Amino acid sequence: MRDGFIPVAVATPPLRVANPAYNQEGIIRYMREAEKGGQVLLIFPELSLTGYTCGDLFLQSTLHKRGLKSLATIVEASQPLNLITVLGLPLIWEGALYNCAVAFKGGKILGVVPKSHLSSGPEYSEQRYFSQPPQGNGVIEILSQIVPFGTNLLFKSQRVENFTFAIEICNDLWTPNPPSIGHAQAGALIIANLSASSALIGKEEYRRTLVAGQSARLHSGYIYASAGSGESTGEAVYLAHNLIAENGEIIREELFTYEGLVSGEIDLNFLASERIRGGNFKGGNNANYQVVQFDHKVVEVALKRTYAKHPFIPKEGSGELEKALMIQSIGLLSRLRHIGTKKVILGLSGGLDSTLALIVAVEAFKRGSLPLSGIIGVTMPCFGTTSNSLRLAETLAQHFTIPLRKIDITQAVVQHFEDIGHPQELHDITYENSQARERTQVLMDIANQEGGIVLGTGDLSELALGWATYNGDLMSMYAVNASVPKTLVRHLIAYYAEGCGSSQLKETLQEVLAAPISPELLPHKGGKTTQKTEEVVGPYELHDFFLYHAIRRGSGPQKVARLAQETFKGEYSREEILKWLKLFYRRFFANQFKRSVLPEGPAIGTLSLSPRSGWKMASDASVATWLDELN
């Protein structure tokens, strides 16, 4: 349960309709299996002890007596377990019959939740047997225990922060106002749904969408257990569609024909962070709720869920890459129209970022039916510029049929060194930044000459690390790549290369992708760059992973390190990950002053470091607390 991960399970046991004595054995077996796997919360389907399709047998006292006897056996079996279990059965309360979920642990019943919205479809007839729940909570005596009874119950851990769950039953989710909305507003971060949903063509996908959507709107974990084909097939067939969702993502899913168990971990710390970030879950909404506390051992379990190495990269075939280019190009086109200009000035280096900016500019001009001659490329070789990067810049300009100006800034920088008294042989930060600032000055002045705007090329990863020169390449009139992380820059160029329709352009773009990432500010040797960015600041795939989990998901340093070690096992050692993660935090905190003056640019994803609409942070904030946690 370290780092807020709660191991949960969803089980559909073998079932015989109206035979609790048989059904109890499967329930107990799965309880023990879940306990052995380290799970702390286990959910069974709706009316799982008796079967959902008992029909008028629900009105027979014999079924109820046998159900209570089996429940007693199951609760007794839970005595030595560290597991909280929720199962379904019919219960009589104050002279009426209810479709209920019973939560229990360690031989004690925690509470009973009746179904709020009874199903009334053609294959269901719940209203024939069961009553609507009463208003407000009460108590029920069950197995000689007096326990809470009602729809507004919160089950809260005494040991683990944020571990609070609530229950709704099947059709409750399908209604216009599901009880889980109130549960979440009252503080539940996990919703358990005991269900018996029939199998119909198209219903599986709808059910999946419903579960994922509810977990998204509630910023919650959602555990859905469904009855299997042990139910009667007289009017409908039931397939065990078991789901575990988190904040809109289905993290585990299985469709069993008869029985099975699905387990996974829900990240409560992330969910709590999302609620705070969204600001839609305020305190004070639990006045009508009763909190039922439970105790349990806090056990360490292996993390079974996996995370994407490149979390900013959308799924292949999703259309999101095309959408990203569209957002960037439309943003630029709208800005040009607003300003009233048809020209952009772009520093073209032959590297990744300027290549993507060029692609965006071309797409914007095509969308707006503007002449491509309005995209003025400028290449500015100096001490470290290699012949290969210069060739790539020239070739790209030819492929896209844009004008390219070649302005050698060497003499201008040498003159500047003389003016400020800087030795040319001293290859320090002044040596490097003088070139970056000279290039920006050239671009800005050409923009004045042409009546255009300078297009910024810096990406999100560089901004996070502060890998940009203040009053140099940090400055522009519109920064089209400002919310595009480096890993996504690569994918966008590769995507464009595949669909560009020109084998020659595709080959050139592939050369851009194959070249080492470098600012080329130090003298080259033998025509090859001596300055490789990832050797200085670390691999960008790691930094993008850190950026996503530390900033977007709000994870602490230890958790980020843990996830990175699990995700990149065999590729980077623990020592390498910690080295680059410490550097990430140091640079992220130290360079906020650069992000505070960022030019405007289009946001394309859920993470932006813009000081206006994205990330707000004091430039003199201390990194000590974050490094202390890592150390």
Where is 310: in which H helix or E strand?
Answer: none
**One-letter-per-residue 3-state SS of 201-252:** CCHHHHHHHHHHHHHHHHCCEEEEEECCCCCCCCCCCECEEEEEEECCEEEE
Residue 93 forms beta bridges with which residues? 96
| Annotated catalytic residue 46 | yes
Per annotation, catalytic residue among 35, 46, 432, 438:
46
Query: Which 3 state secondary structure label does DSSP give 575?
Result: helix
Q: Catalytic: which of 35, 54, 105, 115?
A: 115
Q: How far is Cα 268 from Cα 286, in angstroms, rounded to an integer?
A: 19
Determine the straight-line distance between the first and last CA of the chain, rounded to whole angstroms.
Answer: 21
Distance of CA 188 to the CA centre of its chain: 20
Question: For residues 573, 578, 583 and 588, what is the CA-based torsion angle, rounded to 10 degrees?
Answer: 120
* Cβ proximity of 221 and 229 under 8 Å: no
The Cα 78–Cα 75 span in angstroms is: 5
Contacts of 121 (CB under 8 A, 6+ apart): none
Q: Compute the half-sphere exposure of residue 323: CA atoms within 13 Å on the CB side of its CA.
A: 11
Contact 446, 405 (CB under 8 A): yes
Give the active site residue among 105, 170, 231, 462: 170
Helix (H, G, I), strand (E, B), or coil: what is residue 326? helix
Nearest to 627 by CA among 584, 563, 565: 584
Read off φ and ψ for residue 109, nearest 5 degrees.
Answer: -85, 130
Beta bridge partners of 389: none
Q: State the Cα–Cα distance between residues 602 and 331, nearest whole angstrom.
A: 6
Alpha-carbon separation of residue 475 from 379, 431, 455, 596 (angstroms): 17, 19, 9, 12
- Give catalytic status of residue 115 as yes or no: yes
User: Cα torsion for 305, 308, 314, 318, to the nearest 10°?
Assistant: -40
How many whole angstroms separate alpha carbon 427 and alpha carbon 422?
10
SS3 31: helix
What's the DSSP call for residue 400? T
Using alpha carbons, select from 21, 19, 91 the residue that is nearest to residue 54.
19
**What amino acid positions are annotated as catalytic residues?**
46, 115, 170
